Every structure is written in structure tokens, then in C-alpha cells.
């Protein structure tokens, strides 16, 4: 995507907090000594009296956020995804999820694209962890514009929210007049041969893959599924009925994330062939983000490869059984006697 502006979605997180705070004095930000990396330092500089550095104590930070929320304050707790969802899981579950408190968790540095920090920081399990908490909304923006809109929507809604933002700069493809709605997917490109449902920084890769697939004669519907929970079941079912096959793409484990959320809808409402692209049952490792994404197949080229093979395989399978539908059963029985 040459000549396209690239901005990390964590930048949008910091910008949105600052914008919202200008109009709402009940918003506060809590950090675990990572304000510079999570980009909440932007908020800290503008509103120092409403920013609280809890130190390297994520579990305590979540407890403080929970307490503040009971007083009409809207706290945004920020840390790396590995610590926000992993280290503080029990506190999120019991102190925020169970009483269904109005706390927003902004988790940056999610996924393989954390890069050189390695497996210990490359959290590919956060969607799965947060999805299991009853009442928790789970979201991941595709670009900076959507990140800003998502944070504003999270502030406006009542209840716990988990948002994942990326470390690496990614293409900005939404226009400034983009409207975001929690729980709704976004069709970016129409198609009827296959639907590619992606989330986060994999959406720009899916867009690029869609262009290549179109040039190769495969019409792919590209869907941005920013809200992973609650999933837009209506859009998933529509895509299944009209495209007949679905590919999911996420910078997350194929276990428990977007792919399984889509699979759950399909299995109950409209079973069609499904292929999941994501991190397989393995840990990441240290390396440049761009190289790691390619190595783990989280790139446009691999989406094209997997989708092309998937469409070919499912098309061949359908073709093999199709003639049976047009055969006179009596003649067929005579032929096999």
C-alpha cells in the first residue's frame, strides 16, 4: 500500500483519550509505568491531575480502576496486552467483570508485531482470555482513525471494555468521516466467491490480498470485524449464505479468537467451510515485526495463497458431488447393481 500514511493504533488511543477528556472531566487514565509506550503520555501531559501511574503493579491498577468506577468516574487502564490481559486476568474477572463495572482497558503491544521484545511480550491469547469473561466487550481497531472512534465509543457505552492496540505503524485507510459502531462489522469490498473476515492490523493485509485475488479471478468479500465480542453474527451469516466459504485472519492464536468466534456462529446458524489464518498453537520469538508477520503467515501473500487453495479445494468438492443431484436415482441404482 504505497504512499499511504502509516500510524500505529496505539497513537490513536492516546489521541482519543486527550480529545474525550477535553469534553468530559470524569475520564481518568491509569498506567503501569508505561505511559510513553502506551501513548497515554499525551493525556498525562495535558491532564496531569487525572493521570495516575500505578507503577509496575497491573493487578493493583485494575483494582484501583474498579474502585474509581463505582464513584461515577470512567477509568481507562493502560498497559501492554500481555500484562493487561494476562498478569491482571484474575482482577479483571473478579473486580471488573463479575460486578460489571464501567472500566475500559486499553491494551497496547498486542500480537506478534511486538517484534524484538519476543515471545514473553507477544500476547496472542488476549482475545481468548477476555472473550471468556461474561459481559466483556472485546475490540481491536484496523487503523488509527478507527482506533480513535473506538475509544470514543467505549467511553460512551456502559460496561467493561477491552481494546487491543498495536505497536507497529499500519496503513490508514478509513476517511475522517468514518462512523464506528460497537458490535458491527464493516464490508470493505464486495465479493461472492469467498468472504475474508479480518481484525486489527490484518485488515489492511486482507484488503491487499483482495486486490490480488480479484486480479486472479477470485471475488473476495473483505470484512473488517473490529468487534470480536459481541461478534456481528448477522454479517457473518449473510457472508456465509452469499459467499459459501469464509476465511478469518487475525494476529492472534487461532484458538479462542476471531476464527473461533466466527466458527461458533457458523456451526449454529449456517455451516459452511471455514479456514482460519492466525498464529498456530505456538509461541512467537524475537525479530523485526515485518519479518515475523511474514514468517507466521500474517501477510497479504499468505492470505492470497491460503484463500486460493481453499477456494479451489471447496469448489472441487462441490463440483464432485453436484452431478448426483441431477441423476435419476433409478438409473443410478441400475448402474451399481
The more confident residue out of 174 and 315 is: 174
* pLDDT, tens digit (0-9, with 9 covering 90-100), for 214-250: 999 999 999 999 999 999 999 999 999 999 999 999 9
Q: Residue with C-alpha cell 486480479?
A: 215
* pLDDT, tens digit (0-9, with 9 covering 90-100), for 74-105: 999 999 999 999 999 999 999 999 999 999 99
pLDDT of residue 137 exceeding 80, the answer is yes
CA distance 165 to 107: 6
* pLDDT, tens digit (0-9, with 9 covering 90-100), for 146-165: 999 999 999 999 999 999 99
Name all domains of the chain by residue range, CATH numbers in brackets: 6-171 (3.40.50.970), 186-314 (3.40.50.920)
* pLDDT, tens digit (0-9, with 9 covering 90-100), for 107-134: 999 999 999 999 999 999 999 999 999 9
- CA-CA-CA-CA torsion sign (17, 142, 146, 3): positive
pLDDT, residue 132, reads 97
pLDDT of residue 332 exceeding 70, the answer is no
User: E-strand spans in 104-262?
Assistant: 104-108, 137-139, 161-164, 170-171, 186-189, 194-198, 220-224, 227-229, 246-253
For residues 151 and 158, is the Cβ–Cβ distance under 8 A?
Answer: no
Active site residues per annotation = 58
This prediction has a pTM of: 0.92
Amino acid at each position: 500500500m504505497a504512499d499511504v500514511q502509516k500510524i500505529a493504533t496505539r497513537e490513536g488511543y492516546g489521541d482519543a483519550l486527550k480529545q474525550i477528556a477535553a469534553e468530559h472531566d470524569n475520564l481518568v487514565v491509569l498506567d503501569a509505568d508505561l505511559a510513553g509506550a502506551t501513548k497515554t503520555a499525551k493525556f498525562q501531559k495535558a491532564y496531569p491531575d487525572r493521570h495516575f501511574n500505578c507503577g509496575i503493579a497491573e493487578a493493583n491498577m485494575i483494582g484501583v480502576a474498579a474502585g474509581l468506577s463505582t464513584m461515577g468516574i470512567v477509568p481507562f487502564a493502560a498497559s501492554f496486552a500481555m500484562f493487561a490481559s494476562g498478569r491482571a486476568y484474575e482482577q479483571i474477572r473478579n473486580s471488573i467483570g463479575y460486578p460489571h463495572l464501567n472500566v475500559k482497558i486499553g491494551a497496547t503491544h498486542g500480537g506478534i508485531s511486538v517484534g524484538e521484545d519476543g515471545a514473553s511480550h507477544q500476547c496472542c491469547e488476549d482475545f481468548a482470555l477476555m472473550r471468556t469473561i461474561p459481559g466483556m466487550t472485546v475490540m481491536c481497531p484496523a487503523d488509527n482513525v478507527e482506533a480513535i472512534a473506538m475509544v470514543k465509543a467505549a467511553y460512551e457505552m456502559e460496561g467493561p471494555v477491552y481494546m487491543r492496540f498495536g505497536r507497529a505503524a499500519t496503513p490508514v485507510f478509513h476517511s475522517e468521516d468514518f462512523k464506528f459502531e460497537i458490535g458491527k462489522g464493516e464490508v470493505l469490498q464486495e465479493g461472492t466467491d469467498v468472504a475474508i473476515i479480518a481484525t486489527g492490523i490484518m485488515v489492511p493485509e486482507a484488503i491487499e490480498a483482495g486486490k490480488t485475488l480479484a486480479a486472479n479471478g477470485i471475488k473476495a468479500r473483505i470484512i473488517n470485524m473490529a468487534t470480536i465480542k459481541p461478534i456481528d453474527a448477522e454479517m457473518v451469516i449473510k457472508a456465509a449464505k452469499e459467499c459459501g466459504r469464509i476465511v478469518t485472519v487475525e494476529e492472534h492464536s487461532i484458538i479462542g479468537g476471531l476464527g473461533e468466534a466466527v466458527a461458533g456462529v457458523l456451526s449454529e446458524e449456517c455451516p459452511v467451510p471455514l479456514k482460519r489464518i492466525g498464529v498456530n498453537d505456538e509461541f512467537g520469538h524475537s525479530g523485526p515485526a515485518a519479518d515475523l508477520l511474514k514468517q507466521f503467515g500474517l501477510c497479504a501473500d499468505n492470505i492470497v495463497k491460503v484463500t486460493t487453495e481453499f477456494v479451489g479445494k471447496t469448489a472441487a468438492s462441490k463440483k464432485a458431488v453436484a452431478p448426483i443431484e441431477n441423476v435419476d436415482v433409478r438409473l443410478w441404482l441400475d448402474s451399481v447393481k
